[in-house]
Amino acid sequence: MKTEVVVGLFMESEFCLQPLGYSPTRKSVFDSLVAGCIPVIFNPFMAYYQYPWHLPEDHQRWSVFIYEEEVRQGKVDVVERLRRVPAEEREEMRRYIVHQIMPGLV
């Protein structure tokens, strides 16, 4: 799928799931941030440890973390977990992404 199509979908979404791919790092994390979408991270090495010079350490302000193993074991329902994030918290996260993170990425 073309990057433009993916970013377009991200721009229409509130949360952007970032499953582990063929490598621990994913360009898609940055694509979601540039689109103003809250990334949902399943493995801390995908963003938190890989990009400390680009992404703020306080990852709760700009992403949702769900342990990959808990999803695999059926201990966490991803959709339900995301539904429980209050609207005001989602708005604050997106505001933080747009005003604090995005300017350093584009």
The string of pLDDT tens digits covering residues 63-84 is: 999 999 999 999 999 999 999 9
Q: Quick: pLDDT tens for 12-46.
A: 889 999 888 776 667 788 888 988 999 999 988 77
Instruction: Quote the Cα angle for 81-84-10, to 5°.
Output: 70
**Claim: this prediction has a pTM higher than 0.75:** yes
Tally of domains in the chain: 1
Domain that holds residue 95: 3-105
Cβ of 3: how many Cβ atoms within 10 Å?
10
pLDDT score recorded for residue 25: 67
Q: How far apart are CA 102 and CA 106, in angstroms?
A: 6
**Dihedral sign of CA atoms 56, 61, 64, 70 in order:** positive
